[in-house]
């Protein structure tokens, strides 16, 4: 599970970088898709952390 959390956090970081780039370029559809993915990843991270007792 710790490996899952680490992989999830790495994906979260890369999606956040992609989101910021799309925001800078005014790519609104890409921003929306990436924002939705960020929300899902944050939810999964929160669930994993609670399972591991890290919160």
Per-residue model confidence as pLDDT tens digits over 1-55: 889 999 999 999 999 999 999 999 999 999 999 999 999 999 999 999 999 887 6
CA distance 17 to 14: 5
CA distance 16 to 38: 7
pLDDT of residue 31: 97
Among candidate residues 20, 6, 11, 21, the one with its CA nearest the CA of residue 41 = 11
Per the listing, tokens 């559809």 go with 29
Full-model pTM: 0.86
Q: Which residues contact 1 (CB under 8 A, 6 or more apart)?
A: 48, 51, 52
């Amino acid at each position: 599970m710790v490996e899952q959390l680490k992989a999830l956090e790495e994906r979260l970081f890369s999606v956040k970088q992609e989101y910021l780039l799309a925001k800078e370029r005014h790519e609104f559809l890409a921003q929306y898709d990436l924002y939705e993915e960020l929300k899902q990843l944050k939810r999964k991270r929160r669930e994993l952390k609670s399972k591991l007792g890290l919160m």
